[in-house]
Structure 1
Amino acid sequence: MSDPTTITLTTWSLEMTSPEDLVPASRRPGPEVTIMRAEVPSPEFSRFLYASVGGDIHWTDRLSLTRAEWVEQLHRPGVETWVAYDRGTPAGYVELDPQPEGAVEIIYFGLIPDFRGRAIGGWLLTEGIRRAWDLASRWPDREPTRRVWLHTCSQDGPTAMDNYLRRGFKVFHTETEEKPLSPTPGPWPGAEAEAEA
């Protein structure tokens, strides 16, 4: 008999080892959608993106960070946030995290729920991968990127894995574990209950 207080969580780690492996999205949104780098690190803006994109898909690990901890993360050399905008409104983002030996992790990627299903995700992921591969061109002390990787899990959005595979990522590790069941927090307290009403 299964435990109603836990879930079985599968996590997949995926990688791309050459920029030539990237398969760009064939569809792109209209000209009203643009992508820009948030060049001025802002804990408030990054927390907004994190909570708004991940609130319904169990992103909780950063919600308890203090402002100082957000500042520390965002000011690390090579950390970049690329944001998709629809006519000036943030629609989603990609956060790149540089690591040793030329690795760059796409540590966060996703869209705010109202912007899903409009071809923005494939295009944003394509641009995020390109920016991961050319990260050293913007950070002179950074060695060239040799590997771009990420992880996704069975709690992520239903199209996440398909998007990663279509862009050319390959799975290199799979892990399954039992995890306590927790409610999705939504982008603000009470948002989940509002959405269900």
Structure 2
Amino acid sequence: MKVDGEPLGEGYFNVRAGDLACIVTALEMREPPADLRRLTPEDDVPIQLVRWKDCTPEKYRMLYKRVGGPWLWWSRLIKNDAELSEILSDSRVHLFAVVDRARVEIGIVELDFRTEGECEIVFFGLIPGATGKGLGKWLMRKALQMAWAKAVSRVWLHSCTNDDPRAVPFYMSRGFKPIARFVEVYRDPRLCGLYPEETAPKIALITG
């Protein structure tokens, strides 16, 4: 994660109309949880994690928006097909679709091993109808098992104040520790045609 500028001092700071500002929290773990290898029954788990090797940019964007739309995920939507394909085809990027018993994609997990010795959980989430059912615990366990199966000494991720407010407490409950905080300012994706203006009504849309 590239961070620019000096740390902000105390006070209020103007944000341009049409921009969004959020607080980003980075979290990491330096060793796998003690119980990560413990066998757990999976017969009653109604989802599976499937490696998505043949994913096209179009299919990726569709699932990305279904999962991230309520939180205005945007960073992958501004990439063109060539840029997105370059990421998805990289052997060090492991993309997984979460599928239900009908084999319908209902979530996404993306692990990035492009930095030596590290794994970033770049995207982790379920569509709104699949959240709040305890599936995230199973899903994170699977993600961590795959991350720590590689020769890494650090697994990390980040969340922001525009994400689900349960995200950071959930990550901490899984063993991640918060290590840094940043301010991110970016153009509101609803004003760039990436999402309809009525998306994510909890995040106020200010046009001028």
Q: 3-state DSSP class of the match of 2:25? A: strand
The structure whose Rg is larger is: 2
| 1:80–1:97 contact (8 Å) kept in structure 2 | yes
Partners in 1 of 2:196 and 2:20 — Cα distance? 23
Stretch deviating more after TM superposition (15-24 or 63-72): 15-24
User: Alpha carbons of 1:195 and 1:158: their partners in 2 closer, same or farther (altered >3 Å)?
Assistant: closer
1:128 maps onto 2:143 in alignment: yes
What TM-score comes out, normalization by structure 2 length? 0.75
Q: 3-state DSSP class of the match of 2:158? A: strand
Name the structure 2 match of 1:64: 78
Identity fraction in percent:
33
Partners in 2 of 1:40 and 1:166 — Cα distance? 33
Partners in 1 of 2:14 and 2:156 — Cα distance? 33
| 2:108–2:123 contact (8 Å) kept in structure 1 | yes
Alignment counterpart, residue 170 of structure 2, candidates 156, 160, 163: 163
Name the structure 1 match of 2:129: 114
1:85 maps onto 2:91 in alignment: no
Stretch deviating more after TM superposition (92-101 or 4-13): 4-13
Name the structure 2 match of 1:11: 24
Partners in 1 of 2:168 and 2:42 — Cα distance? 18
| 1:27–1:119 contact (8 Å) kept in structure 2 | no
Higher helix share: 1
Partners in 1 of 2:116 and 2:179 — Cα distance? 18
Name the structure 1 match of 2:116: 101
Partners in 1 of 2:195 and 2:143 — Cα distance? 30
Q: Structure 2: where are the runs of 5+ without partners?
A: 1-11, 203-208
User: Alpha carbons of 1:170 and 1:7: their partners in 2 closer, same or farther (altered >3 Å)?
Assistant: same
Q: Deviations over 1:158-193 (max 9, x none)?
A: 21111111110011111235x3673658xx754836
RMSD between aligned alpha carbons?
3.2
Name the structure 2 match of 1:45: 59
Structure 1 counterpart of 2:53, one-letter code = E
| 1:14–1:173 contact (8 Å) kept in structure 2 | yes
Name the structure 1 match of 2:160: 153
Partners in 1 of 2:167 and 2:200 — Cα distance? 25
Partners in 2 of 1:64 and 1:132 — Cα distance? 27
Total equivalences in the alignment: 184
| 1:23–1:168 contact (8 Å) kept in structure 2 | no
User: Alpha carbons of 1:3 and 1:175: their partners in 2 closer, same or farther (altered >3 Å)?
Assistant: closer
User: Alpha carbons of 1:159 and 1:69: their partners in 2 closer, same or farther (altered >3 Å)?
Assistant: same
Partners in 2 of 1:159 and 1:32 — Cα distance? 22
Q: 3-state DSSP class of the match of 1:93? A: strand
Structure 2 counterpart of 1:62, one-letter code = R
Q: 3-state DSSP class of the match of 2:71? A: coil
Instruction: State the shift of 1:150 in Å.
Output: 0.7
